[in-house]
Chains A and B, each alone.
Chain A
Amino acid sequence: MEYLNIIFQEVYKILFLLVPVLVSVAMIVWLDRRVWAFVQKRQGPNVVGPFGLLQSLADALKYIFKEIIIPASSNKVVFILAPIVTMTLALIAWAVIPFSETQVLADINVGILYLFAVSSLGVYGIIMGGWASNSKYPFLGSIRSAAQMVSYEVSIGIIIINVLLCVGSLNLKDIVLAQQDLWFVIPLFPMFVIFFISALAETNRPPFDLPEAEAELVAGYQTEYSGMMYAMFWLGEYANILLMCAIGAILFLGGWLSPLEIYPFNLIPGAIWLILKILLLFFLFALVKAIVPRYRYDQLMRLGWKIFLPFSLTWVVLTASYLFYFNLLPIN
């Protein structure tokens, strides 16, 4: 009975987190298309509901009623598992995101490592989908994406080390609280830029959307998917993008902290500030999609390994030396 109570409480908390995340995923799809359209002087989805806000709902309804086609020569178990893996991994990461000092589902000591681990597992959904489809375009797309995500994870890891040097803890709450005086975006601005670009590559967003480059690979690893399974890939992808924005907001933009600790800003709860910061980063994501042309694959690899990796590694040495020389190392 006691266990049952605990389980019900936790399920309630999880639902209270997951339902807003899923709804906001649907909303940012609309926002993404809208921003994309405005950059290109179009209207975008503006028919369903006020300002087209319900467009994603209409799309979801359409996906639900479509037939799910499983190719005859595919590996059926892995084929069905792939979108489920993508979706699950994109959602479980939200467990450690702190919305304020008290509003966090799981306050674990190694929060940032957990986020890094979950985002590095995200590649499996794509590899499984590409391999199980048993067709060349999905396979090529998934191989591209695996190489791309593994490469950019390295530079994201090193950027996280930069932040951790300034914080002295792997706990996400401590990371946010360490930014009370100064957000890390100011001293570590080059790292923020590299993090943003690496996050674009990590989530397969344009200009790094080579795994699904429609001119070469039809739709990459999603080619054989249809109906609700395609929608799950799609939702998982956008949930991952939101997650990357949240990580960026926590590492560099001070998480739930308000920009100025003065009267009118103090009244707004921390969760709102975090959501605003996530939306700001997502707006940048959407802008980049509209204004930057797609990279060539060899240039993408060169950027990851030959430019970002050495640069962020040098920055680790610089940060560490600076903190050591001025005796600023966080020792607890």
Chain B
Amino acid sequence: MAHAIFFYIFSAIAIISAIMVTVSKNTVHSVFFLILDFISISCLFIMIGAEFLGMIMLIVYVGAVAVLFLFVVMMLNVAQQKNQWFLSTSSSGHIPVGLIISTLIFFEIIIVIGGWKYKPDLFDINNSFAEANMTNTHSLGRILYTDYIHVFQISGMILLVAMIGAIVLTFRHRSGVKRQSYINQISRERSEGVQVLEVQSNKGIKIDD
């Protein structure tokens, strides 16, 4: 009973905030709604007993990915662009593409969940390592680091390559950039920087530079 009530509360928040992500006119508000969506989905994960996935969702998506989204949205002038889409009278080319993709995703989800519910033999659930008195994290680690270790490591390598690729693509040497050398700064002595001079009154001094 209580479980059902909480499920409906969290899923309602998730769906409403997902709609608000696309509808709200302020881009930064969109990102905040996205964060709310992530948080309510991680609550749903915790409710079905997948506490590890829920926490990882919070740490990775909310704690890191959404912060980067916020950065990008605040720094670039995306807000103006989004406003133009809303205000322009001519129909945008993005809408049909978006509709097609979302219909595809919708049917995929229906097939997977329907199949999972009504045709259990479609899925290979016999080799699951989960044991009765084992925590979620433990059983996940068992599967991930034994049977699927190669897939796991390859996906990690792909992420690394993507990151290095992005850095290489945007990295360029510019001339005339002043850089700080920590070794030079720390190893500076008094004798290099300070000079004590006798200054005669009313004469002044000329410093050569």
CB contact list, B131-171 vs A, under 8 A: 135-137
B56 touches A (CB below 8 Å): yes
**Closest chain B residue to A332, Cβ basis:** B138
Within the assembled complex, what's the spacing in Å between the Cα atoms of A248 and B35?
28
Query: Which partner residue on chain B sits nearest A171 by CB separation?
Result: B135
Q: How far is A170 from B138 in the complex, measured between Cα atoms in Å?
A: 10
| Complex contact B71–A298 (CB within 8 A) | no
CB-CB nearest in chain A for B134: A332
Most B CB contacts (10 A, CB to CB) among A78, A110, A131 go to: A110
B71 touches A146 (CB 8 A): yes
- A120–B64 CB distance below 8 A: yes
Which of B63, B71, B136 neighbours the largest number of chain A CB atoms within 10 Å of its CB? B63
A254 to B127 CA separation, bound complex (whole angstroms): 39
Q: Give the nearest-CB partner of A112 in chain B.
A: B55
A117 touches B64 (CB 8 A): no
Q: Which of A113, A131, A139, A146 contacts B67 (CB 8 A)?
A: A146
Residues of B within 8 A of A113 (CB): 52, 55-56, 59
Verify if A143 is at the interface (C-beta below 8 Å from B).
yes
Assign chain B's interface to a size class. 20 to 34
Chain B residues positioned under 8 Å from A65 (CB to CB): none
Interface residues of B in 64-119 (CB under 8 A from A): 64, 67, 70-71, 74
Bound-complex Cα distance A75 to B79 (A): 14
Q: Report whether A150 and B64 are in contact in the complex, using a CB–CB cutoff of 8 Å.
A: yes
If A113-B56, A131-B28, A299-B182 touch, whether A143 touches B71 (CB-CB below 8 Å) is: yes
The reply to whether A78 and B32 contact each other, CB–CB distance below 8 Å, is yes
State whether A117 touches B32 (Cβ < 8 A).
Answer: no
Other A-B pairs beyond A117-B55, A120-B59, 5, CB < 8 Å? A78-B29, A110-B137, A127-B70, A150-B63, A157-B59
Which residues of chain A have a CB within 8 Å of any CB of chain B? 3, 75, 78, 108-110, 113-114, 116-117, 120-121, 123-124, 127-128, 131, 139, 143, 146, 150, 153, 157, 170, 298-299, 302
Mark B residues whose CB is within 8 Å of A.
Answer: 2, 26, 28-29, 32, 35, 51-52, 55-56, 58-59, 62-64, 67, 70-71, 74, 135-137, 180, 182
Q: List 25 A-B contacts (CB under 8 A).
A: A78-B29, A78-B32, A110-B51, A110-B137, A113-B56, A113-B59, A116-B55, A116-B59, A117-B58, A117-B59, A117-B62, A117-B63, A120-B58, A120-B62, A120-B63, A120-B64, A121-B58, A127-B67, A127-B70, A143-B74, A146-B71, A150-B63, A153-B64, A170-B137, A302-B182
